[in-house]
Amino acid sequence: PQTKKKDQTERKDMNALAATNRNFKLASRLLGLDSKLEKSLLIPFREIKVECTIPKDDGTLASFVGFRVQHDNARGPMKGGIRYHPEVEPDEVNALAQLMTWKTAVANIPYGGAKGGIGCDPSKLSISELERLTRVFTQKIHDLIGIHTDVPAPDMGTGPQTMAWILDEYSKFHGYSPAVVTGKPIDLGGSLGRDAATGRGVMFATEALLNEHGKSISGQRFVIQGFGNVGSWAAKLISEQGGKIVAVSDITGAIKNKDGIDIESLLNYTKEHRGVKGFDGAHPIDANSILVEDCDILIPAALGGVINRENANEIKAKFIIEAANHPTDPDADEILSKKGVVILPDIYANSGGVTVSYFEWVQNIQGFMWEEEKVNDELKTYMNRGFKNMKEMCKTHSCDLRMGAFTLGVNRVARATVLRGWGA
C-alpha cells in the first residue's frame, strides 16, 4: 500500500508539472511568443537542493532534504511558500514555483515565482526539532534569499512561527530584515488581514464572477472541499454575504445540511474538535462524494488533482472556484467545459494570499503598518482589477478563463523579460 501511495503521489506531481507546462505552452502559442523566449520563460532561474541534518531530542541525528526552486525574477523578487510535508518532491515544487510566476503576474504585483519545502512529517517532530530544522535550512539558503531576491512565505505544514525562525536566523547573517519573509506573526511585522487573505480573495473572486453572470453570492448554494485556513475563511465570509454552505469536508470527514450549515457554530466546533467530523448541525456523508454534491458553486480548497476524468462527469456545480493549487486536471477541464461549467482558475482565484503578502512586504520596507480595513480594501481593488484584466484577455484571444489568466500572466512576464534584454 505504501508503494502504491508513493506511485500515485509521483504521478500527481508529474501531472501538476505537465499540466502547468501545457497551459503555459497553449498561452505562449496564443500570444505568438518565439521559441527562444518560450524556452527561457519555462526553465527555472535556479534549483536548490540541500541536506539538513539535525540532532533530535533523543540525541540521534536525522537528515532531511530541503528544496527551493526559484523560477523567474523578470518582474521583481521571487516569491513563494515553504512547505513541510513527507511528499515534497522536486517536480511538485517546480510546478508550484512556475504557477507562482504566472499568479504574481496575474495579480500585477512586482514579484516572480518560487517555491520550497523540506521532505519531513511535521506531526512527528517536536517544536524544538522543527525549530532546529528550520534554522539549518535557513543557514543553507540564506545567501540565496533576501528582501530583493526571494521572499519565502508559509505553506502546507508551516506557519507564522516557522517564518519567525527564518527571519531570526536570516537576521543573524544580514541584520534585522523583517521583509525577508511574509506571513509572519503580527508582533514581528506581519500584516493585519494576512490570515484571512486567501479566503477573502476567494470570496472577492467569486463575487466578481457571479456579477459577470448577473448573480450575487446571496442565495447561492456552496460546497467547500477543505476546511483549513482557506476553506474556513472562505466559508465564513461567503456565509456573511448570504451564501448557503450546504456541505464541507476536511481530513476528518464530510458533512452536509441542505438547508445550510451554521458556519460560526462549525468554526467553534472545529477549534475544539480539530475537524468537522461529529458536528451535530449537519449529517455525515462519504468524503469521496463531496465534489459531486448538488450545489451551485463548488470550491475545492484542499489538494491538487482532485477533479479528474473519474468524477468530472458527475459534478453538478455550475461554477468551480479553484481555491487550491491545480485542483482540476486537463482531462476534467475538457469534460467540464463541454458541460458548460465555468471554472475560475487557481492562478487568479487564490491569489489573495500572495497579494496581501505583497502588502506585508511593502509595509515592512516602508516601516509603516496599515489598518486592517485598508488591507481588505486594497485586496478587493486588486482582485476586481485582476478579474477585469483576465476577462479582457479572454475576449482578445477568444478563450476560457484559465487561458485568459495564463495569457495575462505569461504576457506580462514575457514583456518584462524582453524589456530587460533577456529575451534573446
Catalytic site residues? 115
Q: What value does the CA radius of gyration of the chain take, rounded to a whole number of Å?
A: 21
Q: Do the bridges between strand 112-119 and strand 319-321 make them parallel or antiparallel, or are there none, so unpaired?
A: unpaired
Return the H-helix or E-strand segment holding 350. none
- Quote the DSSP letter at residue 146: B
Q: Are 97 and 378 in contact (CB under 8 A)?
A: no
CA torsion, ordered 165, 169, 175, 180, to nearest 10 deg: -60
CA 307 to mean position of chain CA atoms: 16
DSSP string, 221-257: EEEEE--SHHHHHHHHHHHHTT-EEEEEEETTEEEE-
- Measure Cα distances from 418 to 23, 74, 403, 410, 411 in Å: 21, 9, 22, 12, 11
The H or E element that residue 35 is part of is helix 35-42
Sign of the torsion angle spanned by Cα atoms 48, 90, 79, 407: positive
Sheet holding 244-250, edge to edge: 283-285, 253-256, 244-250, 221-225, 297-300, 319-321, 342-344
Amino acid at the residue 23: N
What is the spatial distance between Cα 375 and Cα 383, in angstroms, rounded to a whole number?
A: 12
The grid coordinates of residue 407 equal 495569457
Cβ–Cβ < 8 Å for 414, 31: yes
Interatomic CA distance for residues 300 and 305, integer angstroms = 10
User: Do residues 67 and 54 lie in contact, with contact meaning Cβ atoms separated by under 8 Å?
Assistant: no
